[in-house]
Structure 1
Amino acid sequence: MKRILLAVITLITMQGCTPLKPALSDNDTSNTEELSVKGRQGILINQKLEFGNFKTSKVKRSWTKGGNSRVGISTGTGDFFYPDIISKEYINRNQAFYFQLNDHENRISDVYASSAFDSESLTIGKNPNSVLNIFHDLVNIETNVNSFFYLQVYVENGIKPWQLILDNQASQLKADNYTGVFAFDEKNYYTLKPITKVASKKGPKSILFGSVGYEIFDANNKSVAAVSLIDRGMVFLKTTDNQERFLLSNLCSGLLLQQQIDN
């Protein structure tokens, strides 16, 4: 994904566009809060992200034990939709990372992610009615694919996570018609659509291929947030609900921190 994104940035520059601001689907930006991101670039040791009132802890990559409150509770909950925390098979890989996020109202979360998840592992929990399987058709999961970005967000004291399913490769190569999903259950979910246009003096301008970030829509297909993955990154929040803003900031943080490392 990193190579594709670099190619997209190069093409945007060649087209004479400013590669820092995506064009969103909703032309009304009066209720959109644009937040610059600190900490995405540079040395990744002890990396932290910050935007607006949201800050991450130090990002741990390829962690093996300790340092968070969720290790050890991945089984035995009895919850119908409950998945295991990302297994050590992925934790020990360079593409896995963990962080906590907090805001000015002292909310806190635990976030686990892997940016090289394979399609066979998307049956976590081995439950045909799990969140991952409920949205199987929406995200068009193909077999023998190992480019999924899989993320779990545990908000405060919750024992069931929100889960992101995003095919890194398809979201770039099929950006015009790809949809990812961030879901808690079959009724509470968001969809992610690649952003394929950038702002210019003459209005939204399409890029030749790929995407520059993701626009996030709620279950009613209302645009509620977006994240730009160009340069330092930017977060756009359109909701005024503080709990929803916190949840979506977790999602945006995970997308900003994703690192595609070639094996």
Structure 2
Amino acid sequence: MKIKLYTILLIPVLAFTACSTVKLGVPEQFSSQATEMHVKGLNGFTINQKLAFGDYTTSNIKNGWVRTQEKNDRVSDVSTEDRLLKVFNIDNINKTTTSTIKYQYSLYDVDGLEAQVFCIERKSAEEQDIKTQIKWLTDISSTKNYQYSFSAAILPLIPNYDEPWQVVLYNNYEAKKDTAKHLFDLPYIEEDGYATNGKETIAIRTIRTQKATTQKGRPVNMPVKMPAGYELRIDDGVVGIIDTYDNNVWIYNEMDKKTKFILASVSSAILLRKLESTEDVD
């Protein structure tokens, strides 16, 4: 049996969210000036998958296969630790796993606006596996380094508004930089995100919270502060929120139609991601 420490930590949290259907607690100051749209089509089969939310729908999502490669890393020098482990028939294996997936689709709104969206995700994890080969001792796995990147090209097919947009999300984890010291501390992950057409920029910021609400509006406190979605910001003002708990998108009402359409395009691309960015961090 292999122990994945971070996975074990998440089990009670995931069980909690599964038993209580919750959604991100969006501040009233924003929600009163924005439109909430529930995204249909994210759960279930990916064959002929389509999304629909508010005034927006997609074409069938063309999903590629997840391509995964795993290789054991060569060790140039054998350390004293490795020699001691060998004496007790314990293997210390360092390996690197990389995964890549691509997908594409078109987004439409009720007034005929259209954009083509092309997405690619990559993740790479360098892990250490200690295999004891002894029945009464468990195997242990830990992540030394982790990189995740998501990028998308959004091509609006709109006269006089056809500049392509680039969307970038990435995070990076290094065990030696990790500041998590206590049982319920989450790993420290460097991250950033943005969308830009070269003239305008939308900042993408991860929302981490312990507060959520049930579908009936009852406040819920999570056991630990967990990633719950993303804020979309223009000039440091929130113009959109992506709720990854309950698959909802909020867009600020006082935006022009074309900007709302770009925000919807960015939101749909992020919600369609297949590769979880933190599941392998121990």
TM-score (norm 1): 0.64
Instruction: Give 5+ residue unaligned stretches, structure 1.
Output: 64-92, 119-143
Indicate the larger mover: 45-54 or 151-160.
151-160
Q: Does 1:188 align with 2:200?
A: yes
Task: State how 1:148-187 maps to structure 2 within 5 Å.
Answer: 148-157=149-158, 160-167=163-170, 173-174=187-188, 178-185=191-198, 187=199
Offset, 1:7:
7.3
Partner of residue 121, structure 1:
none
Asked if structure 2 preserves the Cα contact closer than 8 Å seen for 1:113 and 1:149, the reply is: yes
Q: 2:120 aligns with which of 114, 119, 125?
A: 114
- In the alignment, which residue of structure 2 is the partner of 1:247? 262
Instruction: Kindly provide the CA deviation profile for residues 237-260 of structure 1, in whole angstroms up to 9, marking residues without a partner as x.
Output: 113321111100001100111111
Distance in structure 2 (CA, Å) of the matches to 1:174 and 1:253: 27
How far is 1:23 from its partner?
2.9
SS in structure 2 of the partner of residue 11 of structure 1: helix
Q: In structure 2, list runs of 5 or more residues that go unmatched.
A: 1-5, 66-98, 125-144, 174-185
TM-score where L is the length of structure 2: 0.60
Deviation at residue 48 of structure 1 after TM alignment: 0.2
- 1:45 corresponding residue in structure 2: 47
Q: In 2, distance between residues paired with 1:50 and 1:173?
A: 34
2:220 paired with 1:212: no
Conservation of the 8 A alpha-carbon contact between 2:228 and 2:245: yes
Task: Report how far residue 149 of structure 1 moved.
Answer: 0.6
The sequence identity of aligned pairs, in percent, is 23
Shift of 1:230: 2.2
Instruction: Please identify the structure whose Cα radius of gyration is greater.
Output: 2
> What SS does structure 2 have at the residue aligned with 1:45?
coil
Q: The residue matched to 1:95 in structure 2 has which SS?
A: strand
How far 1:154 sits from its partner (Å)?
Answer: 0.7
Residue 11 of structure 1: how far off its partner (Å): 1.4
In the TM superposition, what is the alpha-carbon distance from 1:213 to its structure 2 partner?
A: 1.1
Q: Distance in 1 between matches of 2:167 and 2:187?
A: 19
SS of alignment partner, residue 43 of structure 1: coil
Residue 207 of structure 1, CA deviation: 6.0
The CA distance in 2 between the partners of 1:207 and 1:184, in whole Å, is 39
In structure 2, relative to structure 1, the CA distance for the partners of 1:22 and 1:41 (3 Å cut) is same
State the structure with bigger RCO (CA 8 A, min sep 6), 1 or 2.
Answer: 1
**Offset at residue 14 of structure 1 (A):** 3.2
d(CA) in 2 for partners of 1:100 and 1:247? 12
Pairing 1:199-238 to 2, within 5 Å after superposition: 199-200=212-213, 205=221, 208-218=224-234, 220-231=235-246, 233-238=247-252
Give the CA deviation at 1:26. 6.6
How far has the Cα of 1:27 moved from its partner?
3.3
Q: 1:9 and 1:256, CA in 2 relative to 1: closer, same or farther beyond 3 A?
A: farther
Question: Match of 2:22, SS?
Answer: coil
Once residues 151 and 6 of structure 1 are traced to their aligned partners in structure 2, the CA distance between those partners, rounded to angstroms, is 32
